[in-house]
Amino acid sequence: MLRFTTLTADSSAMTALVSIPARGMAPFPGLVVMPHRGGIDRFTIDRLDRLADLGIASVAPDIYHRQPVATPTTQGKDQLRDDEIESDIAAVLEFIAADGRFDKARLGILGHCQGGRTALIGLVSRPEAFCAGVIYYGGSIFKRMGGPGPAPFNRMSVIKCPIAGFFGNDDSNPSPDDVSRLDAELRRLKIPHEFHRYDGAGHAFQDFTDHHRSREPQGEQAWAATVTFLKRELGLDAAAT
């Protein structure tokens, strides 16, 4: 079941898509799904549907809510600010905390592209809330967006949970060097993580709506590995497939 809801972040109305599994009993393990650059679109809906089929409840917030209607996401993505994203994530966590369909003890955060970066922001700003993080080709993690303060990369020492990362070796942001840097830092901080790095794939390789960059075999492999990771870290019953 998919439902639109409206949350409040920094006194601004923020819509969010809530997905609850059709079968099984609440409370369900949950995921905060940070949208990719395109926002809450067909790709995001498809991920929420797939998660629901696995028995995972999820919430995807519209982080573009502060921007005027006429702003296309290609411009809007550059106007996002890290402190505002933190507020948005906080609003989602407040919603989840009050909603009995979500098992707060089994909550992760996942995102693609820009959503990979904002998922990392979630992990570093609210480390106590999450028991798993999934980052697909999250770029620009070495810089802060908006206002003073450290970049997400420089805040990672507070992370408490395992992370799964998925990257295309032809990507330029994050480049293979960027990914190696992230890998090294997580190892230095002793944060358990598994990285999957795919040849013949660049950015957005799992996005079937992106005809240029979509790579179905790598996308499906990555999703299968994501499912394995989530089943383990969110304590999904093996029978609930």
| Binding stretches for another protein (CB under 8 A) | 1-4, 15, 17, 38-42, 44-46, 49, 62, 64, 67-73
Question: What is the closest distance, in whole angstroms, from the C-beta atom of residue 6 to another protein in the complex?
Answer: 12
Nearer to another protein, 40 or 135 (CB): 40
Sign (positive or negative) of CA dihedral 16, 21, 27, 33: negative
- Whether the CB-CB separation of 9 and 216 falls below 8 Å is answered with no
Nearer to another protein, 72 or 148 (CB): 72
Q: How far is CA 52 from CA 56, 81, 155, 222, 239, in A?
A: 5, 30, 31, 18, 15
Question: What is the closest distance, in whole angstroms, from the C-beta atom of residue 94 to another protein in the complex?
Answer: 21
Question: What is the closest distance, in whole angstroms, from the C-beta atom of residue 17 to another protein in the complex?
Answer: 6
Question: What is the closest distance, in whole angstroms, from the C-beta atom of residue 70 to another protein in the complex?
Answer: 5
**Residue 81 is which amino acid?**
R
Nearer to another protein, 67 or 169 (CB): 67
Question: What is the closest distance, in whole angstroms, from the C-beta atom of residue 71 to another protein in the complex?
Answer: 7
Nearer to another protein, 71 or 157 (CB): 71
- Cis bond leading into 148, ω under 30°? no
